[in-house]
Each structure stands twice: as structure tokens, then as C-alpha cells.
């Protein structure tokens, strides 16, 4: 099965050696765990797609240490893009820029653009420094499934993959994927919602567009059914919860504090604060999937704006039929 290794200098050195040899490695970031390969190694990139069972048109994110590394894979840098990364890197923000011709098209889903992020997590940064080149990585779950926020989640998803290294950096403290902003248009376009909020983007860039696609685009993570548990799942408002639970078999009920759940169902309480809810969401969806129920029912949070917009997006995609 996959091998979970602690965050040590020896583990980082071993993982960097595996990456140089063309293997894929799973590693912690502040958002979710990634499954990465050397951006410039087409064979290794193909291995990531194969392991994840990811559609080849779904681009990967090139993880970089800094601006100099970002310029190895992208062009089109402007005052606007520099201002944005100056405020948000390292951190949970991905930008889309034109791809340099040296970057294999397979690493970008065949697009002429590339998604780039500089992660904040010290483990991810240590790995990037040790390798000395960008690492292209999607989330380290099977395609379409719930993203992993612990090393054990990754090991569970790849239990049959003997020799796959999973670098354990602890639970992800952001817990949902990065915000993605496309800077190849005349006006910045938010392609995926995340913890860097629309409000913050507007402060930094002025007027922006939000085009959160329901089909695959040049941004990762935009298919309509995504981040989804194995069990059938629905999302309902609090006032519709009792009616929904009366119509089916035992449910894992992901709810907010103060919500009552009838006997015969499993109550799974979420935090009331948006950032804490986001950090706990994927772990709770995975727990709900394995608690012996027939289905998952999610109480729709009432929060609006800020990180709640990203939470609502993930819940909608996770419960789409």
C-alpha cells in the first residue's frame, strides 16, 4: 500500500529523488494534499493522470517556490499579476497565464495556458526547494471524489499502490482547493472559488468577472460533479431537513450546531464559522461515506459571501447527480 512518511529532511530528500526519477509523490499543502510530478517530465505527468484516473483535458496546477520559478513555466507577466501574487503568494491562490513552450501540453490539459500556485505549507515548499523545479499536481484523490486533507485519506484512496510516497504534513488548515483567477483575459476572471475571496480579489484588482464553469475549462476543478462522496448525497435547507429524512433510509446528516436529527440517523456536526467549516468539510464528507448509512444529507449553510461562497460551490458539486 502507499507509504506515509513523516515530514523530515530524509523524507523530503527521498521524495525529491523519486520525482527526479519520474515517479509521482503525494504531499501536503495548506489547501488539500496533492499528487505531483516534475512539470517538465511528460512520462511522470502521464503517471499522475493514470493514478488519479483524471480526464486528460483537466489541467494540473504547477506548484512553484516563487516568481522566478513561475517564470520558468509561464509568460505574460504584467503589473496586475505581480500585484496579485505580491499580496497572495505564498498561499491558496492559483493564477492562469500563458504557458511557456517548454512546458509539455500534457501538464496543462492541452491548453496554451498554465495554472500556477506558490503553496504556503512548509512541507510543500521544502519539497519544491529540494527538487529545484516546479511540481505539477492535482488534488491527490481519485478523479471526481472527495479531496484528501490528511495523509491517511491519500493512503486510503491509493491503498493498492505499493511504493507511492505520501509526505505527511498534518491536516490541511485551509481544507478546500485554491482560488483560481484567469489573467489571460482583458478583465480578471475567477474560474474557481476558494478561501481567497471574491471580495479580496476585487480589493486587489478592481472589477472582476466570476465565471465558475459547470464544465471543464482551462481551470482545474470545474466539472459539475466533483468533490463527491461515494454515497448518494443531497443538500437541503434546515427547514426541509425533517421532510428529507422521513423519505429514505438511514442517513449521515452533516449539519450545523443546534440542528436536531431524528433517531435512526447519524448526526455529524460542522463548525458554524466559514473558515472552520471549509477546513472540516472534506474530512466530514469522507466520514459520512464510511459510517454505515445509505445516503448523505447535508444541511445547507446559510452563510453568504466570503469563504461561504466557496463552501456553497463545493457542496453543490459534491451533491450533483
Query: What are the DSSP calls for 7-64, one per residue?
Result: S-HHHHHHHHHHHHTT--EEE--SSS-EEEEETT-HHHHHHHHHHHT--TTSPPEEE-
Q: Model-level pTM?
A: 0.95
d(CA 147, CA 37): 18
56: its cell numbers: 486528460
d(CA 5, CA 70): 28
Helices (H), 198-306: 198-205, 241-245, 274-289
Over residues 116-122, mean pLDDT: 98
Q: How confident is the model at residue 248 (pLDDT cuts 50, 70, 90)?
A: confident
Over residues 118-124, mean pLDDT: 98
CATH architecture of 233-318: 3-Layer(aba) Sandwich (3.40)
Is-contact 36 27, C-beta < 8 A? yes
SS3 252: strand
98 CB burial (10 A radius; 0-12, 13-18, 19+): middle
Query: Is 226's pLDDT higher than 80?
Result: no
CATH of region 3-210: 3.90.870.10
Give the residue carrying C-alpha cell 513523516.
6
Give the residue carrying C-alpha cell 530524509.
10
Q: How confident is the model at residue 224 (pLDDT cuts 50, 70, 90)?
A: low
Please give the angle made by the CA atoms of 31, 307 and 122, to the nearest 5 degrees. 25
Query: Is 34's pLDDT higher than 80?
Result: yes
Q: What is the mean pLDDT of the chain?
A: 95
Q: Which residues of 281-318 are buried (b: 16+ CB within 10 A; e: fewer)?
A: bbbbbbebbeeebebbbbbbbebeeebbbbbbbbbbbb
State the first-to-last Cα distance of the chain, in angstroms, to the nearest integer: 31
List 177's β-bridge partners, or say none.
none
Over residues 164-187, mean pLDDT: 97
Q: Which are the contacts of 262, defined by CB distance < 8 A and separation ≥ 6?
A: 242, 245, 246
- Every domain of the chain with CATH number 3.90.870.10 lies at 3-210
Query: Is 220's pLDDT higher than 80?
Result: no
Amino acid at each position: 500500500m502507499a507509504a506515509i512518511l513523516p515530514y523530515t529532511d530524509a523524507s523530503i530528500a527521498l521524495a525529491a529523488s523519486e520525482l527526479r526519477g519520474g515517479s509521482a509523490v503525494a504531499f501536503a499543502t495548506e489547501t488539500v494534499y496533492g499528487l505531483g510530478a516534475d512539470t517538465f517530465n511528460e512520462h511522470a505527468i502521464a503517471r499522475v493522470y493514470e493514478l488519479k484516473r483524471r480526464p486528460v483535458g483537466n489541467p494540473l496546477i504547477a506548484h512553484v517556490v516563487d516568481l522566478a520559478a513561475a517564470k520558468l513555466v509561464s509568460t505574460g507577466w504584467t503589473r496586475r499579476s505581480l500585484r496579485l501574487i505580491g499580496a497572495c503568494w505564498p498561499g491558496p491562490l492559483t493564477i492562469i497565464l500563458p504557458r511557456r513552450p517548454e512546458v509539455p501540453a500534457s501538464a496543462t490539459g492541452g491548453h496554451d495556458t498554465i495554472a500556477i500556485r506558490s503553496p504556503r505549507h512548509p512541507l510543500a515548499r521544502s519539497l519544491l526547494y529540494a527538487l529545484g523545479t516546479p511540481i505539477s499536481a492535482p488534488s491527490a484523490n481519485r478523479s471526481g471524489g472527495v479531496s484528501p486533507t490528511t495523509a491517511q485519506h491519500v493512503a486510503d484512496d491509493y491503498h493498492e499502490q505499493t511504493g507511492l510516497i505520501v509526505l505527511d504534513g498534518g491536516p490541511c488548515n485551509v481544507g478546500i482547493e485554491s482560488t483560481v483567477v484567469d489573467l489571460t483575459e482583458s478583465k480578471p476572471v475567477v474560474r474557481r472559488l476558494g478561501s481567497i475571496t471574491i471580495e479580496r480579489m476585487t480589493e486587489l484588482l478592481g472589477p472582476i468577472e466570476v465565471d465558475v464553469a459547470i464544465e471543464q475549462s482551462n481551470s482545474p476543478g470545474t466539472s459539475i460533479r466533483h468533490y463527491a462522496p461515494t454515497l448518494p448525497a443531497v443538500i437541503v435547507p434546515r427547514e426541509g431537513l425533517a421532510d428529507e429524512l422521513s423519505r429514505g433510509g438511514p442517513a449521515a446528516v452533516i449539519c450545523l450546531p443546534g440542528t436536531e436529527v431524528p433517531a435512526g440517523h447519524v448526526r455529524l456536526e460542522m463548525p458554524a464559522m466559514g473558515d472552520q467549516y471549509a477546513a472540516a468539510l472534506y474530512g466530514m464528507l469522507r466520514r459520512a461515506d464510511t459510517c454505515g448509512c445509505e445516503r448523505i444529507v447535508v444541511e445547507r449553510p446559510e452563510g453568504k459571501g466570503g469563504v461561504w461562497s466557496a463552501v456553497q460551490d463545493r457542496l453543490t458539486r459534491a451533491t450533483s447527480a
